Amino acid sequence: MCLFDERKRAVIQLQQGCSRQDVATNLGRSVSWVGKWQRRYEQESWAGLQSRSRAPRQVKGKTTPTVKAAIWRVRQELACAATLGQGLKYIG
């Protein structure tokens, strides 16, 4: 059973008059889990039972293109120096 179906089943059991505790026991879940999906259903209907992305919407501290270019340039210089026997013998 997929997560959406399990959440839907919880809501249906609640609509049929089962208590949160009974639904949690039937599905092997916690009472707070049942409450979470009951609230989501009340706010957003069936669409609210779909999984949501947990990925951040924005990445803080993302490396800028300017910094990336500088890193690439330095790595190229180090690689050239290593092939000529100068500077570092490896990059890593």
Assigned domain for 24 exists: yes
At residue 1, the pLDDT reads 74
Please check whether residue 27 lies inside any domain of the structure.
yes
> Is the residue at 82 inside a domain?
no
Number of separate domains in the chain: 1
Q: For position 91, what pLDDT does the model report?
A: 62
35 part of a folded domain: yes
Q: Is residue 39 part of a domain?
A: yes
pLDDT band at 85 (very low <50, low <70, confident <90, very high): confident
- Domain for residue 34, yes or no? yes
The whole model's pTM is what? 0.60
- What was the pLDDT predicted at 80? 86
What is the model's pLDDT at position 90?
65
Per the model's pLDDT, the better-predicted residue between 92 and 41 turns out to be: 41
Domain that holds residue 13: 3-49
Residue type, 30: S
DSSP string, 18-67: --HHHHHHHHT--HHHHHHHHHHHHHHGGGGGS----S-SS-TTPPPHHH
The model's pLDDT over 26-77, given as tens digits with 9 standing for 90+, comes to: 999 999 999 999 999 999 999 999 999 988 888 888 899 999 999 999 999 8
User: Is position 63 within any domain?
Assistant: no
**Is 56 within a domain?**
no
